[in-house]
Amino acid sequence: MENEIFQLLIKADELATERDIEGYRDLFISNGEILFNNRIIAGKDNIADFVAQTWDKEPVGSVHLLFNPLVLSDEGDSALITTRLLILDPSDNQIWNSTKITHTLVKRNSKWQYKKRKVE
């Protein structure tokens, strides 16, 4: 897997931990999507609203950690990767949530961005 791709995946979780809504939304192409519980959240502004609401439901100071990246396809300017996301609650050092994430990435203007992030 290209280092740039891996760095994008890590950056998404760092921004989620930091609750940096604007930084997170900018990881997506303009018509990017998040798929969550059979819902499609499309467009950067809707993504920003969605993650703000989602992060507000998590424990204060929770940490997002990426594990087990598996490249399903890497075709030069697009990639499909699965990972495991752990969300840790710092108040008791326990796993608050664990879920599979499927990342659909595209390379535009020499920069990798999210086309879709599916939370399973």
Q: 67-80 pLDDT, tens per residue?
A: 999 999 988 899 99
| Nearest-angstrom CA–CA distance, 5 and 24 | 15
Q: Which CATH number fits domain 1-119: 3.30.56.10, 3.40.50.1370, 3.10.450.50, 3.40.1010.10?
A: 3.10.450.50
Q: What is the mean pLDDT of the chain?
A: 95
Predicted TM-score (pTM) of this structure: 0.93
Q: What is the largest CA-CA distance in the chain?
A: 43
Give the domain ranges of the chain.
Answer: 1-119
Q: In this predicted model, what pLDDT tens digit does every residue of 8-49 receive, in sequence order? A: 999 999 999 999 999 999 999 999 999 999 999 999 999 999
